[in-house]
Amino acid sequence: MIPSWFVSLQKPAFTPPVSLIEPIGAFIYVVLGLVLYLIWQADLKKKDTKICFHLFVIGLVLNVLWIYVFFGLRSPFIAFSIIILLVAVILCTIYQCFRVSVLACVLLVPYLIIAIIAALINFQIFVMNPNIPLILI
Q: What residues make up the domain containing 74?
A: 18-128
pLDDT of the residue at 45: 87
pLDDT digits (tens, 9 = 90+) for 71-93: 989 999 999 999 999 999 999 99
**Within a domain: 137:** no
**Within a domain: 7:** no
**Within a domain: 13:** no
**Within a domain: 107:** yes
Whole-structure pTM value: 0.92
d(CA 137, CA 14): 30
Angle 133-2-65 from CA coordinates, rounded to 5°: 60
**Within a domain: 135:** no
117 pLDDT above the threshold of 80:
yes
% the chain with pLDDT above 70: 96
Domain count across the chain? 1
**Within a domain: 119:** yes
